[in-house]
Amino acid sequence: MKQQTDSNLRLGMTMMLMIFFIFGFMTNFNIALKDQVQATFQLSNFMANLVNGVFFFAYFVFSFICGSIIKKTGYKMGLVIGCLAIGLGCFLFYPAVAIPSYALFLCAVFVMATGVVFLQTAANPYVAALGNEETASARLNLTQALNGVATTIAPFVVGIFVLTPAKLLMGPKAVQGPFLFIGTLIVIIAVAIYLMKLPEIITGEDLGERKSVWKHPHVLLGALAIFFYVGAEVGISTAVVPYLKNTNMALGEAAKMAAMYWGGAMVGRFLGSINLSSMDAQKKYMYSGLMIIIAFFVGWLVTSSQIQNGEFVFISQPVNGLIFLGIACLNFLAMQIAKGKTNIVLGLFAIIAAALVFSSTVLGYEVGIWALLSIGFFNSIMFPNIFALGVKDLDKYEMPMASGIINTLIVGGSVIPLVMGWFTDNMGVKAALLVPLVSYLYITFYAFKGSKIR
């Protein structure tokens, strides 16, 4: 019986890894398109950030509703609904681009984002509930790590296949084919999920005693921490290209540099999954060493691949890999200092992220960009750790609504980048970076004070 239970849990986690990859790729593919849309429609930074604003506004509109629906239908149907909505949103891009209409383009983004909201609202509590509460943070970090793989790939794909000079001349039509392909693939995945027998943590008939999560301050303060975290993470990613424009870097190359930011988050999430897990110390050191080596290859390979005269070429830049290796070592060292405690790791990483943001505002652009790109490493464990702290000590009946409340505040990914876009247009990109600095200071407060169970 235990063997069958373990098998079901493994199946559930395998499916969750795939789901996290899907919405990680879709989220960052959308974020990376901001520069394509800006160039095509000749928009200001503020107006171009509406692409991200509309995407993350869907969290504010639907997260709480999604939590209620999932509580009635179960997590599995929440995943199916989410995939189908993403597929529909992807298909809507074709007529939006064919017209072309920026308003319809934003509508397609909103529909696709609604599907991502369903996946996010269902997937996070599902992963947290698939096993012991003590290792929930490690499981969430593992799924977020695969999400990080997708978020690293997405801007790199955009830089190579969408933001080349030839594709820029095509305008939005450059994304029609990719969205049709992605939409078809995700609809197939929705059908596969529906036909699979996944372990159910809570079903529509198993509602249990109705309980209110509003009485838990750590849930509400955690939701606000998510607001600031997602806003800072997305805001910084949209600031990378405007920041690099001050170094006269080509748009496509700047977009690929943004992949370094997400690559750091990917490596950091794998390190978090390893070091916050229950595996023995020897294995932790071995796997962590492997991830630090991978950080070198991320920094080296991403920046070495370039487009010249319409052709893909490889120009080796190992020094960038060494820089990323050094940052990964700092990330690992910080985790050892925190001794695997979820709130201590979160607080320490928030302090380091705040210091790096501040450094990027006072250093020259050529050096400051590395401080900016390094923040991804320390963003890495923030979402899963905030979420794990936010749902700590809740029972399975409270989980869907708590997840809905927390995910509603992902709307920070809409609000903060818009504020940063206004600052970039009117006061410069370095002034805009003071906004995420405030965000990391609040996350520091939540880690050490706000997350305590009352």
Domain hosting 409: range is: 2-198+214-450
Instruction: Please report how many Cα atoms fall inside a 13 Å half-sphere around the Cα of residue 87, on the Cβ side.
Output: 14
Residue with tokens 């096993």: 131
Contact between 65 and 401 under an 8 Å Cβ cutoff? The reply is: no
Least confident segment among 172-186, 268-282, 354-368: 172-186
Q: How far apart are CA 379 and CA 201, in angstroms?
A: 29
62-66, 224-228, 450-454: which is most confident? 224-228
pLDDT score, position 217: 84
DSSP secondary structure letter of residue 131: S
User: Do 360 and 433 meet the contact criterion of CB atoms below 8 Å apart?
Assistant: yes
- Is residue 114 domain-resident? yes
Q: Is the pLDDT of residue 311 over 60?
A: no
Residue 219 confidence (pLDDT) above 60: yes
CB atoms within 10 A of CB 360: 26
Distance CA 255, CA 402 (A): 35
Q: Bridge partners of 308?
A: 311
Q: Is 239 a domain residue?
A: yes
Highest-pLDDT range among 13-17, 48-52, 354-358: 354-358
**pLDDT at 4 > cutoff 50:** no
Cβ atoms of 29 and 174 within 8 Å: the answer is no
Taking phi over 0 as left and psi of -120 to 50 as alpha, with beta for the rest, 393 belongs to: left
Proportion of the chain above pLDDT 70, given as a percent: 80
How do residues 386-399 score in pLDDT, each as one tens digit? 988 988 877 666 77
Q: Which two tokens stand for residue 35?
A: 């520069």
Give residue 2's pLDDT: 45
Q: Is 70 exceeded by the pLDDT of residue 287?
A: yes
pLDDT at 308 over 60: no
Q: Give me the number of domains the chain comprises.
A: 1
**Is residue 204 situated within a structural domain?**
no
- CA distances to 53, 122, 156, 218, 385 from 260, rounded to whole Å, are 23, 29, 9, 33, 22
* Among the listed residues 21, 7, 31, the one whose alpha carbon sits nearest the alpha carbon of residue 259: 31
CB 23, CB 119: distance < 8 Å: yes
Share of the chain above pLDDT 90, in %: 22
Residue pLDDT, tens place only, 82-105: 999 999 998 998 888 778 778 888
Higher-scoring residue by pLDDT: 44, 255: 44
- pTM summary value: 0.74
Residue 206, domain member (yes or no): no
Calpha distance 173→169 (Å, rounded): 9
The verdict on residue 276 lying in a domain is: yes
Cβ atoms of residues 36 and 175 within 8 Å:
yes
Give me the residue label for tokens 């990027």: 360
Rounded to 5°, the CA angle 136-343-21 comes to 45
**307 in a structural domain:** yes
Which candidate, 145, 153, 374, places its Cα nearest to that of 264? 374
Assess if residue 434 is contained within a domain: yes
pLDDT digits (tens, 9 = 90+) for 402-427: 877 888 888 888 889 889 989 988 99
CATH of the domain at 420: 1.20.1250.20
How many Cβ atoms are within 10 Å of 448's Cβ, its own excluded? Answer: 16
Q: Is residue 207 part of a domain?
A: no
